[in-house]
Amino acid sequence: MNANNNSLNPWLIPVTLGASGIAGFIAGKLFGNRQISADRILKLVKNDFASEGSLTGSWINDKAIPFQRFAVKTHAYEGGVSRLEDGEEVDYEFIADAYTGSLLELKRIENN
């Protein structure tokens, strides 16, 4: 019986780890930094606002802009929604992360 039959090839683990690392890096570059469409982000924001009142209007810029808060840099979409609150129309403007759809800023616009 040969002693090599009972042990793993010493190169098997390093080669496997290296190959999986390269595959993960490539997959991350191909699929990891995709922006969500402006329309999809607007739909998400509208759904959140609609749960609290009737929407009367909405808009979003379809071109993502650079956005930075402190040391965090990303791209974001600017948009807005209008809804009825106590019978009065109230406008909100938002900035949403282009990669996650998370709201980065939300401002209620005072109508005088």
β-sheet bridge partners, residue 89: 84
- Give the pLDDT of residue 78: 97
Number of domains in the chain: 1
User: Is 7 a member of any domain?
Assistant: no
Copy the structure tokens of residue 36: 């969500």
- Give the pLDDT of residue 46: 93
**What torsion, rounded to 10 degrees, do the Cα atoms 9, 12, 13, 16 define?**
-170
Owning domain of residue 71: 36-107
CATH number of 56's domain? 3.10.450.40
User: Is 25 a member of any domain?
Assistant: no
| Positions of the chain with pLDDT under 70 | 1-8, 12-21, 23-32, 112
- Give the pLDDT of residue 64: 95
